[in-house]
Structure 1
Amino acid sequence: MSLAEIIEEIQGKEDDTGVLTIYLNTDASEGNVNKSEWKIHLKNGLKELKEEAKNRDAEQEVKALKKLQDKVEKEITLHQREMRKGFILVASADGELWRARVLQVPVTTAFHWGKKAETEQIEALEQKFPETAIIAVQSHDATFIETSLGIIRDVKKYSWDVDSESWLDYEEAAQQQTRGGGKDEFQRRFEENQHRWYKSLAEDLLKEVKSRKLEGVYLVGSKETVQEIETHMDSNKLLGVVTKNLGSNSAHDIASEVFETLV
């Protein structure tokens, strides 16, 4: 489901009892006293919503919020180690809508309870962080990271196989490279043919971008590697470049570096 479709689904849901919307800033670098301060904000935010419902004598809403709080806490516990910058959760009392996402970008902590979800921040994030690809290249390896709302949706790794002269799935390529003349021979052949082979990589990656209907690409790698790949990229699709050799880093760290540097 595309980001536009997810937002449409959220906006289209109405529940007479209530729809819970949570935006949680979990980024310690944004001024939080410590890494777990967001837990206090979560507890207090949900408490305030229940107290407001009690003051309205809305017993059904209080029960629904208590039930949702249990589910929210379980969801948070499940993703606690992944918490980096932000977290969004939208859930309806009837259980028909449940969307929870860990973000690589911060949000403003806010809690909302009403017949419909509060989507203002989601819509702003859609404009700032649309569906894009981050491509990190390091010598004969490449990491393709699909992102949306600052969320990593998919990661695909490529590695060059000398024998077939093509970019393969990383695991498959690793098996292929155990054959042949060894690492020195592999590196020699790669250096001799890297212009042609990087062109092939750029073509494969652009096909991936088009098939996934992504807005564009952020390119990451050493200055030399980026320049080589950039010459073969569609300039209309290239959103920005980070000249750092991050190919061996995790997808989360690569995405964070790109968003902090370019967005």
Structure 2
Amino acid sequence: MSLAEIIEEIKGKRDETGILTIHLNTDASSGNLSNGEWKIHLKNGLKELKEEVKEKDNQTELKALKKLQDKVEKEIATHQREMRKGFILVASADGELWKARILQVPVTTSFHWGKTAEMQQIEELAQRFPETALVAVQQADVTFIETSLGIIRDTRKYSWDVESENWIDYEEATTSRARGGGKDDFQHRFAENQHRWYKNLAAQLDKELKDRGLEGAYLIGSKESVSEIESNMNSKHVKGVITKNLGSKPDHEILNEVFETLI
């Protein structure tokens, strides 16, 4: 399900008993959150919501809210070691809606209980960090990371195959058949054919972005390589260029460094 579809599903949901919306800033780099103070903010925020519902003297709502809060606390306790910069949760009293996401982008801590979800921050995040790809290029090896709200949704790694003259699955491209007559020979052929290979890659990236329904891509790599690719891509697909050599890093480290730059 795409981000747009998730947002529409949440916006379309109404629960007469109540819907709980939590935005939680868990960014350890924030001065007041470095020692896990977000756990205190979570506890206090949930407590304040219960007090608000108690004042309404509606036992049905209060019971539903307490039940959801217990479930939320268990969910967060299970995933607290995975927390990055932000966390969003939207859940309805009737159990039909439960959306929880750990984010690589920060949010402003807030708690809301009402018949519909609080959508402002979610929609603002969707506009600022839409469904895009991070394309990390390291010579003839490419990591394509599909992201949504700073979350990795899918990764594809591929490399240039000398014999078929095409970008193929990374595991296939690292065989001796794919790399041809050794490292020195490959480096020589790369130097001679870099422009053509990257032109081919640009066309493949344009198609990949269109097929996946993504808004565009951030190109990551040496200045020479990303400039070559950018010049051959549809300009509407290039969201930005980051001149860092990150292609050899794990996917989550690429994501972290890119979003540190963007934020």
TM-score normalised per structure 1: 0.92
**Compared CA separation, residues 177 and 58, structure 1 to 2 (3 A):** farther
Q: Offset of 1:73 from its aligned partner?
A: 2.5
The residue number in structure 2 matching 1:188 is: 188
2:228 aligns to what SS in structure 1?
helix
The residue number in structure 1 matching 2:149 is: 149
Mapping for residues 145-184 of structure 1, pairs under 5 Å: 145-175=145-175, 180-184=180-184
RMSD value over aligned CA atoms?
1.9
Greater CA drift, 174-183 or 141-150: 174-183
Q: Give per-residue Cα distances to partners, 1:174-201, cap 9 Å, x unaligned.
A: 3455774233333232222222111111
Q: Offset of 1:12 from its aligned partner?
A: 0.8
Residue 15 (1) aligns with residue 15 (2): yes
Q: What is the number of residues matched between the two proteins?
A: 263
Q: Which amino acid aligns with 1:121?
A: Q
- Percent identity between matched residues is 73
Q: Which amino acid aligns with 1:51?
A: E
Q: Which amino acid aligns with 2:235?
A: S
The residue number in structure 1 matching 2:120 is: 120
The residue number in structure 2 matching 1:79 is: 79
Q: Which runs of 5+ in 2 are unaligned?
A: none
User: For the residues of structure 2 that align with 1:32 and 1:225, how far apart are their CA atoms?
Assistant: 40
1:236 aligns to what SS in structure 2?
helix
**Compared CA separation, residues 179 and 196, structure 1 to 2 (3 A):** closer
User: For the residues of structure 2 that align with 1:167 and 1:35, how far apart are their CA atoms?
Assistant: 45
1:28 aligns to what SS in structure 2?
coil
The residue number in structure 1 matching 2:241 is: 241
Q: Which runs of 5+ in 1 are unaligned?
A: none
Residue 221 (1) aligns with residue 216 (2): no
User: For the residues of structure 2 that align with 1:14 and 1:187, how far apart are their CA atoms?
Assistant: 60
Mapping for residues 67-146 of structure 1, pairs under 5 Å: 67-146=67-146
User: For the residues of structure 2 that align with 1:138 and 1:177, how far apart are their CA atoms?
Assistant: 20
Q: Which amino acid aligns with 1:237?
A: H
User: For the residues of structure 2 that align with 1:60 and 1:175, how far apart are their CA atoms?
Assistant: 63
Q: Give per-residue Cα distances to partners, 1:204-226, cap 9 Å, x unaligned.
A: 11101011122122111111111
Greater CA drift, 12-21 or 155-164: 155-164
Consecutive aligned runs of 4 or more in structure 1 exceeding 4 Å deviation: 176-180
Mapped contact 2:161–2:179 kept (Cα < 8 A) = no
User: For the residues of structure 2 that align with 1:4 and 1:72, how far apart are their CA atoms?
Assistant: 24
Mapped contact 1:27–1:35 kept (Cα < 8 A) = no
Mapped contact 1:16–1:115 kept (Cα < 8 A) = yes
The residue number in structure 1 matching 2:32 is: 32
Greater CA drift, 27-36 or 207-216: 27-36
Q: Offset of 1:173 from its aligned partner?
A: 2.3
Q: Offset of 1:39 from its aligned partner?
A: 1.4
2:15 aligns to what SS in structure 1?
coil
**Compared CA separation, residues 139 and 35, structure 1 to 2 (3 A):** farther
User: For the residues of structure 2 that align with 1:215 and 1:257, how far apart are their CA atoms?
Assistant: 20
